């Protein structure tokens, strides 16, 4: 459970311009520090270390870093296009948020500005003889940083935008979201009562936007519930699509009467909800499963015809579901200040429908994909029978029906049916 301001800050730090701006500012400040520290350098030291060479080094850095930055940007654009066309456009966001890529570009831009400011300051004589020594030492440190970053960047370029590496990112993002939801099954609030009947004094808070719910600040809603003496029932979760006028939340006064300041409460509640134009991975495990399924479906399309990638994705899906269904789950966490906020939890049937249904539909005509799906469902039924077995049985039945309608050879149909019966016994 993350407060809204922390979530917004986290989104900001993932933007490419943020790190580039930070490193650029650091480069400018570093170049100017030599002006302030020059008085601490002995006058005889510049002649001993040959600090005059700093002019040529800065010139080399300035010219080379501009070229390297331009090349890196073109490589990034190519990688984004490869991830979008080869995997899925929904995975491009994760490639754009790659920390190694952002650090490399930020280092190159910061080094360029460092050398540029240093050259300008040298031309004006701001450093003096002693200041050149400080600038020379800092320049050597910058050169070491550039070499280290270039080596990491070269190694990273061999993987950036590749299908396997992009699928790894989607899988990791999905597992992080599921692990977080396993710890906070109701985002820190209380479980939404399954048989709830809203009383007559319930006040509906309608959406003022159309889009996807990206974040819910349950802590802020807990503060509102305590201050206004109401119970808050959330009708949406991160990832829900909402439209203008759709009821998002119902508030119920504790005293059994309709609250007089309902509009004021509604305004505060809407401020705790973040609605955007697209879904995000952080707090929406279902989106990650949908993207994994979409990757497999694209691989199974006639244009791509890559059942091996689909089979790989099925294995990753089993690993992802294992995070949700492993017996030794961490103790679910709740916030004592959010007990009056009621949030719906994830449903296993929804998770299975998001992942298995599209793959089963698009791979129904391929025996190897059907066999891998059956084995995956059998594995999940063994991992946590109480949680997964009913959903696995339902999807096995759907898989057999789709396969019988799509497979040509009776032998293949019989093989699937025999395996399904063995799983059920």
**For 386-408, how does the pLDDT look when each residue is reduced to its tens digit (9 = 90+)?**
999 999 999 999 999 999 999 88
Give the pLDDT band (50/70/90) at residue 16: confident
For residue 264, pLDDT over 90 is answered with no
So what's the pLDDT on residue 368? 93
The pLDDT score that the predictor gives to residue 372 is 94
Does the pTM surpass 0.75? The reply is: yes
Q: With cut-offs at 50, 70 and 90, classify the pLDDT of residue 256.
A: low
Q: Which pair of tokens denotes residue 138? A: 């800092």
β-strand partners of 206 = 247
Q: Note the pLDDT tens digit of each residue in 304-342.
A: 889 999 999 999 999 999 988 776 555 666 777 788 899
Lowest mean pLDDT among 25-34, 114-123, 167-176: 25-34
Distance of alpha carbon 120 from the chain centroid: 41
Percent of the chain that is helix, strand, coil (3-state, to 5) = 70, 10, 25
8-12, 246-250, 254-258, 407-411: least confident range: 254-258
pLDDT for the residue 294? 94
* pLDDT of 229 above 80: yes
pLDDT digits (tens, 9 = 90+) for 280-306: 898 899 999 999 999 999 999 988 889
Q: What is the mean pLDDT of residues 62-89?
A: 84
**Residue 188 CB partners (closer than 8 Å, separation 6+):** 1, 218, 219, 222, 333, 334, 335, 338, 341
For residue 120, how many other CB atoms are within 10 A of its CB? 12
Kindly report the average pLDDT of the chain as a whole number.
85
For residues 407 and 367, the answer to whether their CB atoms sit within 8 Å is yes
Q: At what angle do helices 285-300 and 163-183 cross, to 10 degrees?
A: 150
Residues 196 and 23: their CA atoms lie apart, in Å, by 53
Q: Both ends of the chain: CA-CA distance in Å? A: 41
**Extended strands (E) in 222-270:** 230-234, 241-242, 247-253
CA distances from 69 to 30, 55, 100, 349 (A): 20, 21, 14, 47
Tell me the pLDDT band of 419, cut-offs 50, 70 and 90.
Answer: confident
Question: Residues 11-37, buried b or exposed e (16+ Cβ, 10 A)?
Answer: beebebeebbeebbeebbebbbebeee
The pLDDT assigned to 100 comes to: 86
pLDDT on residue 75: 83
Q: Which of 154-163, 198-207, 230-239 has the lowest mean pLDDT?
A: 154-163
Instruction: Write out the two tokens for 149.
Output: 């970053």
pLDDT at 44: 56
**211-216 β-sheet, strand order:** 241-242, 211-216, 273-276
pLDDT over 90 at 1, yes or no: no
pLDDT classification of 41: cutoffs 50, 70, 90: low
pLDDT band with cut points at 50, 70 and 90 for residue 87? confident
Instruction: Provide the token pair at 275.
Output: 């609605």
Residue-wise pLDDT tens digits, 96-109: 888 888 888 888 98
Cβ atoms within 10 Å, residue 248: 22
Mean of pLDDT values over 237-258: 86
pLDDT of 23 above 60: yes
Residue 289: the pLDDT is 95
Tell me the pLDDT band of 40, cut-offs 50, 70 and 90: low
Helix axes 307-325, 285-300, angle to 10 degrees: 160
Secondary structure of 81-110 in the HEC alphabet? HHHHHHCCHHHHHHHHCCHHHHHHHHHHHH
Sequence-distant (6+) residues with CB within 8 A of 136 are: 49, 51, 53, 54, 57
């Amino acid at each position: 459970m993350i407060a809204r301001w922390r979530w917004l800050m986290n989104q900001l730090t993932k933007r490419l311009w943020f790190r580039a701006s930070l490193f650029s500012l650091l480069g400018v400040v570093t170049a100017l520090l030599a002006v302030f520290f020059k008085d601490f350098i002995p006058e005889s030291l510049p002649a001993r270390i040959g600090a005059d060479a700093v002019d040529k080094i800065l010139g080399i850095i300035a010219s080379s870093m501009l070229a390297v930055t331009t090349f890196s940007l073109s490589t990034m654009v190519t990688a984004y296009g490869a991830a979008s066309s080869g995997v899925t456009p929904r995975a491009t966001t994760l490639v754009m948020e790659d920390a190694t890529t952002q650090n490399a570009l930020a280092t190159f831009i910061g080094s360029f500005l460092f050398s540029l400011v240093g050259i300008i300051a040298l031309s004006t004589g701001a450093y003096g003889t002693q200041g050149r020594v400080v600038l020379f030492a800092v320049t050597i440190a910058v050169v070491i940083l550039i070499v280290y970053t270039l080596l990491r960047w070269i190694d990273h370029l061999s993987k950036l935008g590749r299908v396997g590496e992009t699928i790894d990112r989607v899988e990791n993002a999905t597992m992080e979201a599921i692990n977080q939801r396993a710890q906070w099954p109701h985002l820190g609030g209380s479980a939404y009562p399954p048989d709830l009947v809203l009383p007559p004094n319930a006040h509906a808070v309608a959406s003022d936007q159309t889009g996807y719910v990206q974040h819910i600040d349950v802590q802020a809603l807990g503060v509102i519930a305590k201050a206004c003496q109401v119970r808050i029932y959330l009708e949406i979760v991160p990832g829900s699509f909402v439209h203008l006028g759709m009821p998002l939340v119902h508030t119920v006064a504790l005293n059994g009467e309709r609250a007089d300041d309902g509009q004021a409460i509604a305004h505060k509640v809407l401020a705790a909800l973040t609605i955007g134009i697209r879904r995000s991975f952080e707090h929406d495990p279902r989106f990650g499963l949908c993207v994994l399924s979409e990757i497999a479906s694209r691989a199974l399309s006639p244009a791509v015809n890559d059942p091996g990638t689909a089979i790989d994705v099925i294995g990753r899906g089993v690993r992802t579901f294992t995070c949700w269904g492993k017996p030794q789950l961490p103790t679910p966490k709740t916030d004592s200040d959010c007990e009056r906020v009621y949030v719906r939890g994830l449903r296993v049937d929804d998770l299975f429908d998001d992942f298995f249904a599209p793959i089963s539909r698009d791979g129904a005509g391929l025996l190897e994909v059907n066999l891998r799906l059956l084995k995956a469902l059998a594995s999940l039924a063994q991992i946590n029978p109480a949680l997964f077995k009913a959903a696995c049985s339902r999807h096995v039945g759907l898989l057999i029906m789709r396969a019988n309608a799509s497979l040509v050879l009776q032998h293949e149909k019989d093989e699937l049916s025999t395996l399904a019966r063995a799983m059920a016994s």
